[in-house]
Structure 1
Amino acid sequence: MTRKRVEVAAGVLLREDGCYLLGQRAPDAVYAGYWEFPGGKVEPGESPAQALVRELDEELGIRVTRLRPWLCREHLYEHAHVRLHFQEVAAWEGELADRVHSALAWVRPEGPAREPMLPANGPILKALRLPRTMGITQAAEIGVEVQLDALERALAGGLRLVQVREATLPDAAREAFARAALARVRAHGGLLVVNEDEVLARRIGADGVHLPARRLMAVQARPDFPWVGASCHDRAGLERAAALELDYALLGPVQPTLTHPGQAGMGWEGFASTAAGLPLPVFALGGLAADDMERARDAGAHGIAAIRAIWRPVRD
């Protein structure tokens, strides 16, 4: 059966408190009563961004002033093969005035989802629960106690996603550190993933595992954890992560780093073109700090990941 291919622009409207907007499809619509992100079909001659600006004006009565590319997912419905271009609506003007839905709802990412959700929209909800900043540990370099103190400081400042990356620590010390880090992260309601070591991740009850690039290209199936991500350096790596249905990927280096001396960064244009049109969130990595967050998201990144910059003490 040949299905008609339909391009759709979908908007993720975000409030300052992190809530996102969903609309419930009207009784006379296909999939009546289902919840969805607002948006609609991309008409001939339109880009997804242009289509979304038009649709949100028609549906919600708002004028979009800032869009960011985010994820692109495909779904096979009975009536069509739909390709959805999800974009973050970072700023708009006007008051919401719903014109097509039965109801609108602002939803917290960590709260209960609205049911039923359109099947193509469901995977987006997990991506919205993923924090925007990842801190990558360096206990072997700076010392375990120094790292734990820096971790506690960063968690108090809002960090909620941590990767334990300590291959050079002795086994017993690595496990003790990972357990101590996990306890601190859990106390703040965050997520912790362990780099590569699936046995350690299971033993301590971590939230997931992070695959180095070489491991990503070797595995045949997604590891069985709630959260799985991978490090990537090119489009092939990102497409492999997408094919395995991983939850996120890191792409870099964007700028030159001490971790990869002598290696030129891909820059923001390189990042944007390499990460475009993928179904999973991609973090920008490499020589970045908190000040780079807006630029990263404008380039299509979900957020930023960093090693050294995350753990630096905040100075007045």
Structure 2
Amino acid sequence: MNNQPIHVAIAILYQKNKFLMQLRDNIPGILYPGYWALFGGHIEPGETPEVTLKREILEEIGYTIPPFVEFGCYPDERVVRHVFHAPLSVELNQLVLNEGWDMGLLTTENIYQGSCYSQNAREVRPLGNVHQKIMLDFIQTNQQT
């Protein structure tokens, strides 16, 4: 049994004062089922977090991510999250959701509340705790600049 945490690369994609997030599939066995989370995914053997991020964002929403910046690393016992940020330079309707239940541009209010309404789910769904913390850190860091 391998108890090593998995490594993932995830992106904070922002447009004006909103943040693109994915409503994860509501299926048992995945982390944060039915929760809002950041786009991204597992780092494959031999990949850098940067390469993973480009591949995952393209796979998940058909978006070629522009130059991006590392924001930080959020390790816990199960997952080491390598977090990057970049602008979202296209309209939401130009993205294709290939993975997940829904996607949306969440406001800072949604993030502080820890929940957001989903058209596809037809209900308010919660943010994953770790994802909410990352987003709050990001918002607070960028309010000082």
TM-score tier (shorter):
0.7 to 0.9
How far apart, in 1, do the equivalents of 2:75 and 2:83 lie?
Answer: 11
Instruction: Give the structure 1 partner of residue 122 of structure 2.
Output: none
How far apart, in 2, do the equivalents of 1:65 and 1:35 lie?
Answer: 23
How far apart, in 2, do the equivalents of 1:61 and 1:6 lie?
Answer: 24
Supply the AA of the counterpart residue of 1:103. D
Instruction: Give the structure 2 partner of residue 122 of structure 1.
Output: 132
How far apart, in 2, do the equivalents of 1:5 and 1:97 lie?
Answer: 30
1:133 deviation in Å?
Answer: 5.4
Instruction: Give the structure 2 partner of residue 8 of structure 1.
Output: 8
Instruction: Give the structure 2 partner of residue 36 of structure 1.
Output: 37
Question: Would you say 1:48 and 2:58 are equivalent positions?
Answer: no
1:101 deviation in Å?
Answer: 1.0
How far apart, in 2, do the equivalents of 1:103 and 1:10 lie?
Answer: 17
> TM-score scaled to structure 2, two decimals?
0.78
How many residues are aligned here?
A: 130
Instruction: Output one character per residue of 1:34-58: Cα deviation in whole Å (capped at 9) or x when no partner.
Output: 1110000011111111101000010
Report the secondary structure of 1:70's partner residue: strand
- Highest RCO, 1 vs 2 (Cα 8 Å, sep ≥ 6): 2
Does the C-alpha gap of structure 1 residues 47 and 4 become closer, same or farther in structure 2, counting only changes over 3 Å? same
Report the secondary structure of 2:126's partner residue: coil
Question: Would you say 1:103 and 2:102 are equivalent positions?
Answer: yes
How far apart, in 2, do the equivalents of 1:107 and 1:10 lie?
Answer: 16
The structure where helix makes up a greater share of residues is 1
Task: Tell me if the contact between 2:7 and 2:80 (Cα under 8 Å) persists in the aligned partners.
Answer: yes
How far apart, in 1, do the equivalents of 2:25 and 2:87 lie?
Answer: 26
Structure with higher Rg: it is: 1
Give 5+ residue unaligned stretches, structure 2: 116-124
1:96 deviation in Å?
Answer: 1.0
Supply the AA of the counterpart residue of 2:12. V
1:124 deviation in Å?
Answer: 1.1
Does the C-alpha gap of structure 1 residues 48 and 92 become closer, same or farther in structure 2, counting only changes over 3 Å? farther
Task: Give the alignment's Cα RMSD to 1 decimal.
Answer: 2.3
> TM-score scaled to structure 1, two decimals?
0.38
